[in-house]
Amino acid sequence: MKYTKAVDVWALSQDQRKQLQIGQWVLAGSAKGQWLGQKASGSDVAAWHHKGIKGWKAKVSTLRAYAKNWG
């Protein structure tokens, strides 16, 4: 599946968010981040990007594991 331009997650239904590809850039208002999935409980998980963040890859990896493994 190809990534698309950043998608506004506020404009999507829960089912549409569930279909988003992991790693897809998303927007929530003016905030930009990467989609990491939905937990079994239905909670959305995204890593919001901020300039100057150190350890971005480690934080994204940890959040992805959280989305995947804990319901």
Would you list the DSSP string of 16-34?
HHHTSPTT-EEEETTEEEE
Q: What is the pTM of this model?
A: 0.75
d(CA 69, CA 71): 7
Question: How much is the pLDDT for 20?
Answer: 92
H helix count then E strand count, the chain: 2, 4
pLDDT higher than threshold 70 for residue 70: no
Which two tokens mark 58?
A: 């480690």
Could you give the CA distance from residue 19 to residue 38 in angstroms, rounded to a whole number? 9
pLDDT tens-digit series, residues 16-58: 998 999 889 999 988 889 998 888 888 898 888 876 666 667 7
